Structure 1
Amino acid sequence: MGKLTATFLKEIILLARDRSGILVLFLMPAVLVVVVSLVQENVLKTAGETGIRVLFIDHDRQSTGQVIEELLSGSGAVEIVKDVDGHEIDEETARTLLAKGDFQFCIIIPKGVTDGVKKRVEQQITEALNAGNEAQNEPVPLPSLAVYFDPLVQGAFRASVVNVLHRVVLSMEMEMKARALSNMIPVRMNLILQEIMGPNLINVPVGIFPRMDSKWGSERLLDVKIEPASRGGVEELPTSVQQNVPAWALFGMFFIVVPLGGSLIREKQDGTMLRLLTLPVPHVTLLSGKVIAYVLVCTVQFSIILLVGRFVLPIWGMPVLEMGSSPAAIVLVVVSAALAAAGYGVMLGTIFRTYEQASMFGPVSVVIAAAVGGVMVPVYVMPEFMQKISNYSPLAWGLNALIDIFVRQGGIRSVLPEILYLLSFFAGAMLIAWGVFIRRGRTGG
């Protein structure tokens, strides 16, 4: 036990001497979490929590533009902007603002749209009531709205705005058709009665027929309720803080492969490892001391990032990090992830012979594991084969476990599989490192 403690203290002393390295090791992940969370919060708001600012130009200045503007504003998904800096927008100005990226969308109501829509509604209702008994007239041209967008806007974001506009137009069309139908049915019934009763029938007043309420065209027949499925009846959706803090904290933890692997390589190169091997200290003790030291570093690093999520991010208007109701589960997951990261660092430091090799392969492999594991892009939006690959990423195991605790109110039992995966990864990495260590250790290679 004393030998293990001595090895552990040696690593802590070496780390403490490198103050700039310690600062980077603890500060950079915290800064990364702050920056990414702020950016992600803005993206989430743009995706639906607040209205998207859309330029609106109405050349028609009749009922169609007014109805579309009211429905878009009432949807809560769009914020209508009709003037910039106190000046009304024209098409040229709108294109310039879109090209500069100041706005992402512009909706234009062309002149004559209202008249065209009314004619088309009358024609459709007339043809529907005639049911093919009379020759159809020349079809009225289909009026159209114009939607301009910033070319840099991604497809899903663009589709969400266009879908909102389609729903608004559909709602307006249904109400206009219902109104036209309610006005045309009494007239049509009067004509039918005259055909049946003959020319001697006096015109029946239109008001004698019961009128239809045009509101039925816009009233919903079926509602859709959307609820998140979670344990314990918790209905809160994950915030950007709950998504980013555990993800980027794990990302920072696994970057200890660089200092850990580098320390092993330097010890081999300067002969320190060879001198240590001459001492009556088991190989396992030498490696275990390093692992325990860096697990402590990872735990402190993760704790700092949690404190940032709890107390620093709310200063910028971000939600407070909610960490679920199982602190014991969080501790087990963090320690397991720290062991996995330390084991991976020991394995790289044992396998590679030069610091350059380890410093190149280590960070790149961590970035790949983070990308595959859902740290940068959610796993569910990946192609199917990438989703299968993500099941083998240790960062995915840690992230899934922490999200389960933070958001789904999971406990130790629910995250036990991920904990076992992380510990198995640690054991496998240490076995590989131990095998290479024994084979090369005696020669100092």
Structure 2
Amino acid sequence: MCSRYLGFILLVWFPGALHTQSAAQPCPAPSLVNGYFLPVKETYTHDSKLTYACESPLKPAVEGWWAWSVCQNGTWSPTPRCIEEKACIPPTIDNAKYTEASEGWYEEGDIIRITCDKGYEHKDNIATARCRYGTWVSLPTCEMSTKSCSAPPKAPHAVIVDQGYQEMFPEDEGVKYECEDGYSIEGSHNYTLFCLAGIWTEGPMCSKETGRGGGHGGSAEAGTVGGHSTSSGRVTQPAGGGAGGSRPDIGHGGSVEVVPGGGHITSSDPGTQPGSGGSSSTSANRPLFTSIEHCGKHPIVPNGVVVEEKPMYLKFKCQAFYKQVGEDTVVCFSDGSWSKVPVCQDAFCVLEPGYYDQSSKVSLAMYIKEGETKHIPCPWEDWSVAVHCSNRRITHTRCCRSYYHRMVTCT
């Protein structure tokens, strides 16, 4: 009697154990058309493994000419299956996703489009792949975007909170720093840095709450964390800086020197702050990145428009027939000034009305993009004058006959 009660109590206490045992169902022999497998049995216990191959010209629906499958609670995984030799199995592409085939493989001629994960971009602008004779042609690769940042900079007397370690941070993503006990930043114990165009924005450094200290004489100060540092005309990327190698600091003139924590301060040569109005920047009032709301009205870029607006930056794009010079990303500094805006330069030629050949005439002014060639018809069929725009200057041929878009005979 006691043993029966004890058994009932165990059933009540450990229902999960019985459920686990009942869930481990055996598998029947797989139905493999045009293929064979070993070992051959009528049923297979949970976790049993079998190997299979396919009759020529078929192949397994996985990589290789032979494959294996495991019995998982009554189901074979992956399902043993033979497919056409010209079919393609799903490709493996790091940091990307694409639409999966409903049957688990792709037929000859199928095209898939790859979407890179946030913070990554298509290498060489290749985003699609085609299945040809069992392999993928021009399989795309997703690489870290030049506007993403690597790991954020290390800060003295501070740690990053609410964020686990990762090697890549997408643009506009922020990390929160918190000062250790006994340290603060003007009464606060935390601050945030943002990834902006491949560079971490700058932030103050934690100092002792009992006093700022740091009495090193001259104009030295606690410094900043993040950003770039430059000296003697060179650009140096500190540890944990942005991706894409060395690049100029956004919107800061003059030369700078490195200070502890990966930040920088302006040297004795004051330099000039670019941007709307321009303000001088010295070691005593080094401006930091801040929200664009702080700068108020957006800067104007002639022949350019804002195509993206984020809390920490604006992104411009030049209109058609104009070429962009300078960074497309504009940020706001804590002194209320904007960083240097891009310039949209003319990138077109104007074809004035008149004769460009004895038999070819332009009645109205025509705009031609830089590097573009347009054809002005001549009186004879398949004959035209080729007009080309290069370095904002017009060059043209005489009336020529074209054959498959190539000029072959001229008058």
Shared fold, TM over 0.5: no
- Could you say which TM-score interval applies, normalised by the shorter chain? under 0.3
Give the alignment's TM-score, normalised by structure 2: 0.23
Relative to total residues, which structure has the larger helix share, 1 or 2? 1
Give the alignment's TM-score, normalised by structure 1: 0.22
Relative to total residues, which structure has the larger strand share, 1 or 2? 2
Question: Using CA pairs below 8 Å that are at least 6 residues apart, which structure has the higher relative contact order?
Answer: 1
